[in-house]
Amino acid sequence: MRLAPAAAAQLKRRSVSRAAPRPAVIRSTAEFARYVGLSRSAVSRVMNEQPGLRQATIDRVRRAIAETGFTPNAHAVHLRGKPSKMIGLCVENLLTPSGVAKLSELQELLAARGFTVLIEVDRADGSRKLIEHFLSLRVQGVVFVGHFNPELLGERIAGLRRHGVPHLVVDHSGCANAPTVTLDRGAAMEEVVAHLHGDGHRRFGLMGISGAFQTVADRLDGVRAALRKRGLAFDRCVVALDHLHVRTDHFEFGRLLAREFASRRDRPTAFIAVNDETAIGALLEFQSRGLRVPGDLSIVGFNNQTICQMTTPALTSVDQQIERTARMATDLLIGAIDRPLPRLPAMRLIAPQLVVRGSTGPAQRRRARG
């Protein structure tokens, strides 16, 4: 027999104000209220720290929480009107150390502001599903960290825009339709060249800075600008031998390039690598061939990872300022919540920092004229 609604409500009401013995696990405010001997409203008000409650009531509820470990169902809370307090984080992969470092910082900063971070890895298959998943959980914002297929990324951004979900791209420079926070790679290269030039270097070897990526173009622009500023011609000062080898493992690639450069008569005195791994591969290879670093040649990495400390001398590298990047990303994203999406997405550049270590030093006299 089904009870008429009114009768069912009666039944419920009757049992409300009788304290029950502690059940195994309490799963709802209703159960919990019965346990404390108060109404669900009273319990809810205590949990949300609303004013106008008797101290005795507050204590009673608090004690019961401590006893039972009751936690309100976040999904129900959200459904009732509270924001989901979730942020979607889409990462290129979880294997790139600098990407993971950014994720780590972002997670920490967002958690500190009460957000739960949902991490999704950009896997080949789930192109559309990824955004749907975030949307179904009613995330309040989405951050993309890393380098993505531009077309796919654009599609996802469009989906988020359509649904009015704030979003932000970190590091994938050259995404026109999304607000972006990215390292100023041009400035990084300018700093590197300035440092090496200051040490008397006039011939530069580029390692792994090639390919059809926006980030590569940005870096080359930086090198070009820095040289122009010093009255040097890019074509005459810069040598790259990337085309001679297939890039598989970074270390190995650096090693192979170093082998090529080592035997050249017109070997540059300074090398700028696409990342720390390539730089270290090259450095170790140069050293094993009897070349001294920085006596015979200087070498600079990129990302300033812990492995920079591994070699002797330690590797000069460019720090991405991950903490500052994450902070800016967090502030921008959270600032965009509950605000209309901006018409023109802005691009914020993060200033890199060159960390000078032992792998760079004054150019040798006899090579200074190149």
Contact present, 87 and 333 (Cβ < 8 Å): yes
Per-residue x/- track, 36-75, DNA (CB under 7 A): --xxxxxxxx-xx-x-xxx-xx--------------xx--
| 71 belongs to the binding site for its own copies (CB under 8 A) | yes
Instruction: Give Dmax over CA atoms of the chain in angstroms.
Output: 101
With CB under 7 A as the contact rule, the residue among 21, 69, 81, 114 that binds DNA is 81
Is the CB of 9 or the CB of 233 nearer to DNA? 9
Task: Read off the tokens for 51.
Answer: 């004013």
Least distance from DNA to the Cβ atom of residue 310, Å:
51
Window 235-264: residues binding DNA (CB under 7 A) = none
| 2 belongs to the binding site for DNA (CB under 7 A) | yes
Taking alpha carbons only, the member of 84, 73, 176, 69 closest to residue 138 is 84
With CB under 8 A as the contact rule, the residue among 39, 57, 72, 262 that binds its own copies is 72
With CB under 7 A as the contact rule, the residue among 23, 28, 108, 162 that binds DNA is 28
Task: Read off the tokens for 167.
Answer: 């979003």
Size, binding site for its own copies by CB under 8 A? 57
- Which of the ranges 93-101, 181-189, 262-270, 318-326 carries the binding residues for its own copies, by CB under 8 A? 93-101
- Burial class, 194, CB count within 10 angstroms (exposed 0-12 / middle 13-18 / buried 19+): middle
Amino acid in position 194: A
What CA–CA distance (Å, rounded) separates 156 from 213?
Answer: 20
| 47 belongs to the binding site for its own copies (CB under 8 A) | no
| 78 belongs to the binding site for its own copies (CB under 8 A) | yes
The whole-angstrom distance between residue 20's C-alpha and the CA centroid of its chain comes to: 49
| 208 belongs to the binding site for its own copies (CB under 8 A) | no
- Tell me the C-alpha to C-alpha distance, in Å, between residue 89 and each of 133, 235, 303, 323: 12, 41, 22, 17
CB-based contacts of 146-155 (< 8 A; 24+ apart in sequence): 146/91, 146/92, 146/93, 146/96, 146/99, 146/122, 146/170, 146/171, 146/172, 147/92, 147/171, 147/172, 147/213, 147/215, 148/92, 148/122, 148/172, 150/174, 150/175, 152/122, 152/127, 153/178, 155/127, 155/128
Window 249-268: residues binding its own copies (CB under 8 A) = 249, 251-252, 255
Is the CB of 284 or the CB of 349 nearer to its own copies? 284
Looking at residue 242, the DSSP 8-state letter turns out to be: G
Contact present, 32 and 64 (Cβ < 8 Å): yes
With CB under 7 A as the contact rule, the residue among 77, 216, 217, 334 that binds DNA is 77
| 118 belongs to the binding site for its own copies (CB under 8 A) | yes
Is the CB of 139 or the CB of 189 nearer to its own copies? 139
Amino acid in position 307: I
Phi-psi region of 167 (alpha: psi -120 to 50; beta: other; left: phi over 0): beta
Strand 270-273 relative to strand 204-207, pairing: parallel
With CB under 8 A as the contact rule, the residue among 100, 152, 216, 262 that binds its own copies is 100
| 150 belongs to the binding site for DNA (CB under 7 A) | no
Strand, coil or helix: 116: strand
Per-residue x/- track, 312-341, its own copies (CB under 8 A): x-----------------------------
Least distance from its own copies to the Cβ atom of residue 321, Å:
17
Name the residues that contact DNA, by CB under 7 A. 2-3, 5, 8-9, 13, 16-17, 27-30, 32, 38-45, 47-48, 50, 52-54, 56-57, 72-73, 76-77, 79-82
Name the residues that contact its own copies, by CB under 8 A. 24-25, 69, 71-76, 78-79, 84, 93-95, 97, 100-101, 103-104, 107-108, 111, 116-121, 123, 126, 132-133, 135-138, 159, 162-164, 249, 251-252, 255, 277, 280-281, 284-285, 288, 306-307, 309-312
